Amino acid sequence: MHAGISPKRLIIAAASARPFVRAAVAAGYEVIAADVFCDQDTCRDAFMAIPLPYVNGGFSPESFRKAIFPLLNGNGVAFIYGSGFETQPDLLDQVAQHCPIIGNSASAIRAAKDPQRFFALLTSLDIPCPEFALDPPAFADGWLRKLVGGSGGTHIVGSGRGGGEASYFQRLVPGVPVSLLFLTDGSGVREVGFNRQVLAPASDMPYRYGGAVSQVDLAEPVRQGMKSAAHGIASAFGLRGLNSLDCMVEGDRFWVLEVNPRLSATFSLYDHFARGARLFEAHVQACAGSLADVLPSEQAQAHLIYYADNDVTIPQGMIWPEWVADIPEDRSRIRAGEPLCTVMAAGDVASQAEMLARSRLAQLTNRINQIQESIR
């Protein structure tokens, strides 16, 4: 996005667009939402909501072009995106031919998600990172296979399972997964928050994303090291706006795994009250080259994804607790293993927020199981 562009209407596309749509509407924009789910809360907030098929870690190009391209040529329209484009940045190149993109360019995504280029940069900047390889290692133990541009952890498996041209391999390192959500104008960096990622493993997806908790307590060398790494990466690739840096952390050590050069799911840990609108506007302005200060978060926030244990049919008129987001439409069918909704909680510290979120997740699970039993 270039300085001086003031869009009146935004098209926000992401695998799950809800938190970005909510914040953009609160900031005064008219929003067309495009995502996989078109949940109740997304449809409520957006001027229009468009469902997009999602296959192989990204949007179906043909379906995306058919649904989105007719909307791109209006005056004052701009395009903002979250996950779903790292595996196919060509779609962003095509969008950019019709309207401004608020976010990183397709070329910046290609550079940041190219494992050979990314890890060469980390090595040159003396940023700690796991060993990586483009070819399958001779011994599979202790290695992971990842899809280039993959997101959500569903693509990460042991290195002995499959392969392909779009994969690379990364050695396992100890610790817990932590991300830094940061704002950048291509040179300066502002810390938004450090977040511990929560896994929701399934038999075929051992590293599936299950949620996150903000205000994670980290050793000061790790905090400073991660911020320094974000600065070096942002400067090298010319990143703009909100981005997130994924790491593994153990004690006072950390290893950089990847950078996500787009709006990320952890945005929703900071969109409570009026903060979300300000953070969204800060993203817009940073993409235009103006870096704003970020307000500190007062409470820890947690969100956990509720994956259906069994096939579920949402009953007509179901009343949802106020701490549930990404609410599916009445009568929709959620298959076992699919995300059903998101549970949220707050606390004075990260552990308190996560504990409350897990309690609410168990409470909601019991309630949905009872409802399913009653309608069988």
The percent of residues in the chain predicted with pLDDT above 90, rounded, is 80
Looking at residues 320-328, what average pLDDT do you find?
Answer: 97
pLDDT of residue 1: 44
The percent of residues in the chain predicted with pLDDT above 70, rounded, is 95
What average pLDDT is seen over the chain? 92
pLDDT of residue 66: 96
The β-bridge partners of 248 are 177, 255
User: In the predicted model, is pLDDT for residue 166 greater than 50?
Assistant: yes
pLDDT of residue 372: 82
Looking at residues 137-148, what average pLDDT do you find?
Answer: 89
Q: Sign of dihedral through CA atoms 275, 210, 103, 327?
A: negative
Q: Which residues have C-beta within 8 Å of that of residue 126, sequence separation ≥ 6? A: none
pLDDT of residue 376: 65
Looking at residues 128-133, what average pLDDT do you find?
Answer: 96
pLDDT of residue 273: 60
pLDDT of residue 4: 43
Looking at residues 205-232, what average pLDDT do you find?
Answer: 96
Q: What is the pTM of this model?
A: 0.94
What pLDDT, in 10s, does the model give residues 234-249? 999 999 999 999 999 9
pLDDT of residue 163: 53
pLDDT of residue 331: 93
Enumerate domains of the chain plus CATH numbers: 9-102 (3.40.50.20), 110-287 (3.30.470.20), 300-375 (3.90.600)
Least confident of 51-60, 77-86, 171-180: 51-60
- pLDDT category of residue 3 using cuts at 50, 70 and 90: very low
| Residue of higher predicted confidence among 8 and 165 | 8
Q: Which residues have C-beta within 8 Å of that of residue 370, sequence separation ≥ 6? A: none
- pLDDT category of residue 265 using cuts at 50, 70 and 90: very high
pLDDT of residue 162: 55
- pLDDT category of residue 6 using cuts at 50, 70 and 90: low
pLDDT of residue 333: 94
Looking at residues 369-373, what average pLDDT do you find?
Answer: 86
Token pair belonging to 232: 């070096």
Q: Which residues have C-beta within 8 Å of that of residue 203, sequence separation ≥ 6? A: none
pLDDT of residue 154: 80
